[in-house]
Amino acid sequence: MRSANLQTDALLRLRSFGEAINSVRAVVAVWGLSMPPMSGGHLRAFNLIDALTDVGEVDLVFTQPMAPDVIARIEEHWPEARALAPVLKAVPGWRGHPRWLANPSLPSALGFVDRRRLREAFCAWQRPPYDLALCISVEGLYALDDELPSAKILDLPDLMDVRAGRSRELRQETEARRGIRGLTRDWRLSSDERRWRTYQRAAAKRVHSVTVCSEIDARYLGVPNAVVIPNGYELRGAPVGRQAVGVPPTFVLPGMMRYGPNEDAALYFVGSILPRLLRAQPDARVVLAGDASSGVRALARPPSVVVTGEVDSMERVLSDADAVVVPIRVGGGTRIKIIEAWAHGIPVVSTTVGAEGLDCQSGRELLIADSPDDFARACVDVVTDARLRTDLIAAGKARAAALTWTLVRERFLELVRSVCSVS
For residues 348 and 372, the answer to whether their CB atoms sit within 8 Å is no
DSSP single-letter state for residue 330: S
User: Which residue, among 268, 291, 289, 295, has the nearest Cα to 369 in the 3D structure?
Assistant: 268
Counting Cα atoms < 13 Å in the Cβ hemisphere of 110 gives 23
For the sheet with 226-228, list strands across it. 82-84, 56-62, 24-30, 132-136, 152-155, 209-212, 226-228
Which of helix, strand or coil describes residue 251? strand
Amino acid at 421: S
- 3-class DSSP assignment, residue 328: coil
Q: From first to last of its 423 residues, what are the pLDDT tens digits of the chain?
A: 344 444 445 444 444 444 444 579 999 999 888 888 888 899 999 999 999 999 999 999 998 888 889 889 999 999 989 999 887 665 555 555 677 677 878 898 888 888 888 999 999 999 999 999 999 989 999 999 999 999 999 999 999 999 988 888 887 776 655 566 666 777 788 899 999 999 999 999 999 999 999 999 999 999 999 999 999 999 989 999 999 999 999 999 999 999 999 999 999 999 999 999 999 999 999 999 999 999 999 999 999 999 999 998 899 999 999 999 999 999 888 999 999 999 999 999 999 999 999 999 999 999 999 999 999 999 999 999 999 999 999 999 999 999 999 999 999 999 999 999 865
The pLDDT of residue 168: 83
Dist CA 396 CA 250 (whole Å):
19
Given this model, what pLDDT does residue 2 score? Answer: 40
User: Is-contact 323 350, C-beta < 8 A?
Assistant: no
pLDDT at 3: 46
Distance CA 143, CA 31 (A): 11
Give the residue among 203, 180, 183 at the shortest CA–CA distance from 191: 183
Question: What is the largest distance, in Å, between two alpha-carbon atoms of the chain?
Answer: 64
Rg (CA), the chain: 22
82 three-class SS? strand
pLDDT for 209 equals 97
Burial (0-12, 13-18, 19+ Cβ within 10 Å), 179: exposed
Beta-strand ranges (E) seen in 225-312 are: 226-228, 250-254, 285-289, 305-309
DSSP code string of 1-58: -HHHHHHHHHHHHHHHHHHHSTTEEEEEEES---SS--SHHHHHHHHHHHHHHHHEEE
Gap between the Cα atoms of 44 and 312, Å rounded: 19
- Give this prediction's pTM: 0.90
Q: What is the pLDDT of residue 14?
A: 45
Q: Is 310 helix (H, G, I), strand (E, B) or coil?
A: coil
Q: Where are the domain boundaries for CATH 3.40.50.2000 in the chain?
A: 11-232+405-422, 250-401
DSSP letter string, 83-144:
EE-----PPPHHHHHHHHHH-TT--GGGGG--HHHHHHHHHHH-----SEEEEESHHHHHHH
pLDDT of residue 182: 66
Q: Residues in the chain, how many?
A: 423
Are 324 and 348 in contact by the 8 Å Cβ rule? The answer is yes
How far apart CA 215 and CA 228 sit, in angstroms, is 6
Q: Which CATH architecture has domain 11-232+405-422?
A: 3-Layer(aba) Sandwich (3.40)
Would you identify the CATH topology of the domain 250-401? Answer: Rossmann fold (3.40.50)
What CA–CA distance (Å, rounded) separates 405 from 411? Answer: 10
